[in-house]
Amino acid sequence: MKGREFKDAMYDGLAKMLKAISNPSRLEIIEMLSQCEKSVEGIVQTTNLTFANASQHLQVLKNNNIVKSRKDRQYVYYSLVNDDFLSVYQHIIRFASHEIAELERIMSRQRKDNNAQHAVSLVELEQMVNADNVLLLDVRPSAEYEFGHITGAISIPMNELLTNLKNIASDKEVIAYCRGPFCVLADEAVKLLKEKGYKVRRLDEGYPEWKIKQTMSN
Partner DNA sequence: CAAGTATTCAAGATATATATTGAATACTTG
Partner DNA sequence: CAAGTATTCAATATATATCTTGAATACTTG
CB of 36 to a second copy, least distance (A): 19
User: What's the min distance (Å) between Cβ of 146 and DNA?
Assistant: 19
How far is 46 from 29, CA to CA, in rounded Å?
9
**Alpha-carbon distance 158 to 56, whole Å?**
30
Out of 56, 59, 65, 142, the residue judged to bind a second copy by CB under 8 A: 65
25 is a contact residue toward DNA (CB under 7 A)? yes
From the list 71-79, 114-122, 146-154, 157-165, the region that binds DNA by CB under 7 A is 71-79
The answer to whether residue 59 forms part of the interface with DNA (CB under 7 A) is yes
Compute how many other C-beta atoms are within 10 angstroms of the C-beta atom of residue 51: 11
Of residues 72, 99, 132, 195, which one binds a second copy by CB under 8 A?
Answer: 99
CB of 150 to a second copy, least distance (A): 22
Of residues 172 through 211, those in contact with a second copy by CB under 8 A are 182, 184, 187-188
Note the residue count of the chain. 218
Question: Considering beta carbons, is residue 30 or 136 the nearer one to DNA?
Answer: 30
Residue 138 main-chain phi, psi, to 5 deg:
-95, 115
The residues near 133 (Cβ < 8 Å, ≥ 6 apart) are: 172, 173
Query: What are the phi and psi torsion angles at 171 (to 5°)?
Result: -90, -10
**Of 81-89, 127-135, 140-148, 201-209: span binding a second copy (CB under 8 A):** 81-89
Q: How far is residue 207's CA from residue 182's CA, in Å, rounded to a whole number?
A: 12
Nearer to DNA, 92 or 123 (CB): 92
71 binds, among a second copy, DNA, none (CB under 5 to 8 A by kind): DNA
Instruction: Please list, in sequence order, all residues whose beta carbon lies within 8 angstroms of the beta carbon of residue 184, skipping any fewer than 6 positions away.
Output: 110, 114, 178
Task: Give the x-and-dash track for 149-168 against DNA (CB under 7 A).
Answer: --------------------
N-to-C CA span, the chain = 40
3-state secondary structure of 38: strand
Q: Which of residues 173-192 bind DNA (CB under 7 A)?
A: none
Binding site for DNA (CB under 7 A): 19, 22-25, 39-41, 44, 49-53, 55-60, 69, 71, 73-77
